Homo-oligomer: A and B are copies of this chain.
Amino acid sequence: MSTLELIEAAATRLSGHVRRTPLLSSPFLDEIAGRRVLVKPECLQHTGSFKFRGAWSAISALDPETRARGVIAYSSGNHAQGVAHAATLHGIASVIVMPSDAPRLKIDNTRALGAEVVLYDRGRESREEIGTALAGERGLTLIRPYDEPQVIAGQASVGLELAEQAGELGVDSGDVLVCCGGGGLTSGVALALEARAPGLRARPVEPEGFDDVKRSLASGTVSRNTSETGNICDAILTPEPGKITFPILSRLCGPGLAVSEDDALRAMALAFLRLKIVLEPGGAVSLAAALFHVDQVEGDSVIAVASGGNVDAAVFRTALERFA
């Protein structure tokens, strides 16, 4: 099956189960950026982030017998909620391996969505090892957060919707900024745009100091981050680009961008004021780049995929206190 066929098959399985998010805008944001700004609010997706798309895609693609034994995932939180909810809706069990320092809201929500949660120490333990061991013991299928073709195909549905929605607005060229951790969303969006809106170019956006994808794209070889903790954008702190995602990103994406924690918080405050949506720091870096790094962005219009909104109230209040 070709990549495009994989994406289209995933879109068919997702139809009626995944929310088609709108494309938002505000003249106030246009003014800040000096161009038209369009925001795809995946915070409005089921479970509060785009991750539900990839989870639904992967689980729905399993053969029924394998699926019935249940699934397992490791995640900083959003993938966890996506897998837990998609599994419960499919009537199957899910085990989620989560870092013990993940936001309380994400841990609680994952349990409430029907998953069994296993916590691990982000600094000392490998989530991959724990996940693989548990999967083997119980016959569970591991749903990887980004290095998995069916997950990428699911995230690509964001790009299919974008191509259609931007086209309706007459926007057929420019940069599409995407919040980037392991690169599942960015590579999915890039593949969909290649097929359906080749004038739109995906570009990954990361937190400053955790810009492994940006550096890897610039040098052409995979570069790791020195740490996986110590930044407010917890949802997108990954060690290095994925093995499957990086070749896709290399082939299709424009240069990466990196934004500061303050810029992420400022973008959250502006999304509150002007778009009436709730973004988490890691879900706001794309909008931050669109608004505050205008010299690095090309086109009369810029699209920002705002990837998630699962933020603790205290962090959100801080963003409002400081920047709203």
Contact = CB atoms under 8 A, between A and B. Distances in A.
Contacts of A24: 19, 44
Interface string A173-211: 000000000000000000000000000000000000000
B275 A44 contact: yes
A48 B25 CA distance: 11
Given A22-B19, A276-B277, A321 B316 contact: no
A320 B105 CA distance: 14
> How big is chain A's contact interface, by range?
20 to 34
A260 B118 CA distance: 40
Interface in A228-274: 269, 272-273
A43 B22 CA distance: 13
A113 B278 contact: no
A35 interface: no
Copies of this chain, count: 2
A218 interface: no
Contact of A321 (B22, B44, B317, B324): B317
Main secondary structure of the interface of A (DSSP, over half): helix
A112 B313 contact: no
Contact of A316 (B19, B105, B320): B320
A154 interface: no
A20 interface: yes
The 5 residue pairs across chains A and B that have the minimum distance between CB atoms: A276-B309, A313-B324, A43-B276, A276-B278, A313-B320
9 contacts: A21-B22, A24-B44, A105-B273, A272-B278, A272-B313, A272-B316, A276-B279, A313-B324, A316-B320
Given A20-B22, A313-B324, 14 more contacts: A19-B22, A21-B22, A22-B22, A27-B112, A28-B112, A41-B276, A44-B276, A269-B313, A272-B316, A273-B313, A276-B277, A276-B309, A316-B320, A317-B321
